[in-house]
C-alpha cells in the first residue's frame, strides 16, 4: 500500500488528456447511451471495490468525528458555507452509521481557536448527536484549528475502550495549517500504539501531515472535488473497517432489557417496575424529568433507560435489543461476492428484480451456492443493503446449508 501511494501521480503531474473525447453521440445524435455507459462503468467500479472477498468486519465501533470550526470554514466554495455543508452531511452520516452499526458508539468534537471542544460524548443515541449537530449551526467559526489537541482529546476517550471493538477517528479538516502545542509525531506514535485508526477528509488541498497521520495509523486520506464527492467520502466511512489479523475473538457480556409493560395490561405483579423513575440517559440534563411506566430496565442493576442501545452507567453492562444484534451479525459473516461472467442467451431476466437484461449489459453476476443470476444493480444492493442472497434464502436446501 505504501509503494502505491509513493508511485501515484498527482493530477497535474500526469500527461495531457482529452477527456471530452470520451463522450460520443450515438447513431441518432443523442448522448443517452453514452451517459448510460458511464453510469454502468461507475457501478462496475463500485462492485470491483466491494468484491475483494468476504472480509470479517468489526461489529462494535467507537468513532470520534472531529469537525474543523476555524475561520476557513466560513468560505463559500461549498454552499452555503463549508461548515453548514459539513454539518448537513454529518446528519445523514450519523443516521446511516447507526443504521449499519446499531451497537456502536459515536462522539463529536470541534476544533477552533487552537483548542478542541467536546460536543457529545461516546454514545449510541443518534437523536442526541443529530440535535447537537443542529445546534452547531449557530456556532461562530474563528481562529486556527489544532489537529494535535483534537487527536489527543479523542485518543483519551478511545484508549480505554475494550480491545474487541475498533477505535477510530474521522477528521473533517478545512484548514491548510494547524497550530499545535507540541510534537505531533509523539501523538501519531501514541495513536498507533493504542490501535486507533485516523481517517481524514480534506476540504481544501492536500496537507502533508494529514497524509502522514492517516498512513501511519492505517486510515485513509482524501481531498474532496465538490459537495457530491464530499458526501461520498463521508458515507464511505459508514462501512466498518476490516478486523485486524491479530484481533482475537472474545465474549462480550450484553443485557437484553425488555420494554416495561403498562400498568393496565396485568402482565407484571411488581409495582416497582411501574414506579416513575429518572432516565439515566438524561439525568444530567437540565430538562430531565420523571419517566412514566414506559422504558427499559437494566437486567443486572435495574437502572431505567429510555432508548437502546446504551451502556449502563451503573454497572457498565451493554444494553441492546435482539434486532440490533441481528443487524450487526452480517459483519461477522459477510456474503461472498458474486461471480461476474458474460451474459448467456438462456438467461433473459434478473432473478432478484425480474428485470429483462438489455443488450448493453454484457456481464451478469452469479451466486456460487444457488447459481442464480442477478443484474449489476441487484448485486450492489445485495452486498450493500440486503446482505443475503435472495436465491439462497428462497431455496430450502441452500438456506439449510448456510445455517449449518
Instruction: Examine the pLDDT at 262 and tell me if it is beyond 50.
Output: no
Higher-confidence residue of 42 and 66: namely: 66
Q: Is the dihedral of CA 135, 136, 137, 140 positive or negative?
A: positive
Does residue 107 register a pLDDT over 90?
A: yes
pLDDT of residue 216: 95
Contact indicator for 112, 119 with CB cutoff of 8 Å: no
Model confidence pLDDT, tens digit, residues 2-15: 455 555 566 666 66
Identify which of 375, 316, 366 has the alpha carbon closest to the alpha carbon of residue 336: 366
Q: Is the pLDDT of residue 95 over 90?
A: yes
pLDDT score of 125 more than 50: yes
Confidence at residue 41, expressed as pLDDT on a 0 to 100 scale? 65
What is the sign of the dihedral through the CA atoms of 379, 382, 387 and 390?
negative
Quick: pLDDT tens for 330-344: 766 777 888 888 877
Do 118 and 107 touch, CB atoms closer than 8 A? yes
pLDDT per residue over 207-228, tens digit each?
999 999 999 999 999 999 888 8
Mean pLDDT is lowest, of 1-5, 256-260, 392-396, for 1-5
**Contact by Cβ (8 Å): 119, 111:** no
DSSP string, 163-182: TTSEEEEEEEE--S----SS
Query: Can the peptide bond before residue 309 be classed as cis, meaning omega within 30 degrees of 0?
Result: yes
**Model pLDDT, residue 102:** 86
Check: CB of residue 104 under 8 Å from CB of residue 124. Answer: yes
Quick one: CA dihedral 331, 2, 187, 67, positive or negative?
negative
Long-range contacts of 361-369 (CB under 8 A, 24+ apart): 361/40, 363/44, 364/340, 365/47, 365/338, 365/339, 365/340, 365/341, 366/338, 366/339, 366/341, 367/338, 367/339, 367/391, 367/392, 368/336, 368/338, 368/339, 369/336, 369/398, 369/401, 369/402
Percent pLDDT > 70 in the chain is 73
Q: What is the pLDDT of residues 227-250, one digit of tens each?
A: 889 998 999 899 887 765 555 566
Cα separation, 43 vs 35, in Å, equals 12
Q: What is the pTM of this model?
A: 0.76
Is residue 264's pLDDT more than 60? no
Integer Cα distance of 382 and 329 in angstroms: 15
- State the average pLDDT over residues 272-276: 55
Q: Residue 68: pLDDT above 90? A: yes
Residue % of the chain over a pLDDT of 90: 37
| Whether pLDDT at 119 is above 80 | yes
**What is the arithmetic mean of pLDDT over 290-302?**
77
CA distance 362 to 359: 7
Domains present along the chain, CATH in parentheses: 55-237 (3.40.50.410), 254-260+276-323 (no CATH), 335-398 (3.30.40.10)
Which cell numbers in the block locate residue 106?
Answer: 459515536
Number of Cβ atoms within 10 Å of the Cβ of 264:
8
Q: Are residues 68 and 173 in contact, defined by beta-carbon separation less than 8 angstroms?
A: yes
* CA gap 320, 98 in Å, rounded: 13
The DSSP element (H or E) to which 380 belongs, if any, is: helix 376-381
Amino acid at each position: 500500500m505504501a509503494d502505491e501511494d509513493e508511485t501515484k501521480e498527482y493530477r497535474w503531474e500526469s500527461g495531457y488528456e482529452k477527456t471530452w473525447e470520451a463522450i460520443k453521440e450515438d447513431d441518432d445524435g443523442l448522448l443517452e447511451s453514452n451517459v448510460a455507459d458511464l453510469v454502468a462503468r461507475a457501478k462496475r467500479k463500485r462492485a470491483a471495490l466491494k468484491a475483494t472477498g468476504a472480509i470479517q468486519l468489526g461489529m462494535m465501533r467507537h468513532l470520534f468525528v472531529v469537525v474543523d470550526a476555524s475561520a476557513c470554514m466560513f468560505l463559500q466554495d461549498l454552499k452555503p458555507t463549508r461548515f453548514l455543508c459539513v454539518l448537513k452531511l454529518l446528519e445523514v452520516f450519523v443516521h446511516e452509521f447507526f443504521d449499519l452499526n446499531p451497537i456502536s458508539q459515536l462522539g463529536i468534537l470541534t476544533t477552533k481557536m487552537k483548542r478542541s471542544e467536546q460536543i457529545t460524548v461516546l454514545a449510541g443515541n443518534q437523536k442526541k448527536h443529530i440535535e447537537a449537530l443542529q445546534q452547531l449551526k449557530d456556532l461562530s467559526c474563528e481562529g486556527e484549528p489544532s489537529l494535535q489537541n483534537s487527536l489527543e482529546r479523542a485518543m483519551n476517550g478511545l484508549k480505554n475502550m475494550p480491545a474487541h471493538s475498533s477505535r477510530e477517528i474521522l477528521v473533517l479538516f478545512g484548514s491548510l495549517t494547524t497550530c499545535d502545542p507540541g510534537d505531533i509525531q509523539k501523538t501519531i506514535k501514541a495513536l498507533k500504539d493504542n490501535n486507533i485508526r485516523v481517517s481524514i477528509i480534506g476540504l481544501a488541498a492536500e496537507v502533508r501531515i494529514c497524509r502522514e497521520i492517516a498512513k501511519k495509523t492505517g486510515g485513509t486520506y482524501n481531498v474532496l472535488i465538490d459537495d457530491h464527492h464530499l458526501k461520498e467520502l463521508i458515507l464511505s466511512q459508514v462501512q466498518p473497517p476490516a478486523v485486524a489479523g491479530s484481533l482475537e475473538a472474545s465474549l462480550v457480556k450484553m443485557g437484553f432489557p425488555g420494554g416495561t409493560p403498562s400498568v393496565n395490561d396485568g402482565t407484571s405483579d411488581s409495582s416497582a417496575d411501574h414506579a416513575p423513575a429518572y432516565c439515566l440517559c438524561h439525568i444530567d440534563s437540565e430538562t430531565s424529568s420523571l419517566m412514566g411506566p414506559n422504558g427499559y430496565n437494566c437486567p443486572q442493576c435495574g437502572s431505567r433507560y429510555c432508548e437502546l442501545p446504551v451502556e449502563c452507567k451503573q454497572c457498565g453492562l451493554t444494553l441492546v435489543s435482539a434486532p440490533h444484534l441481528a443487524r450487526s451479525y452480517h459483519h461477522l459473516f459477510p456474503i461472498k461476492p458474486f461471480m461476474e461472467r458474460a451474459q448467456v442467451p438462456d438467461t433473459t431476466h434478473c432473478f432478484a428484480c425480474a428485470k429483462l437484461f438489455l443488450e448493453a449489459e454484457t456481464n451478469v453476476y452469479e451466486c456460487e451456492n444457488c447459481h442464480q443470476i442477478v443484474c449489476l444493480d441487484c448485486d450492489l444492493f445485495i452486498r450493500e443493503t440486503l446482505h443475503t442472497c435472495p436465491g439462497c434464502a428462497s431455496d430450502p436446501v441452500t438456506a439449510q446449508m448456510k445455517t449449518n
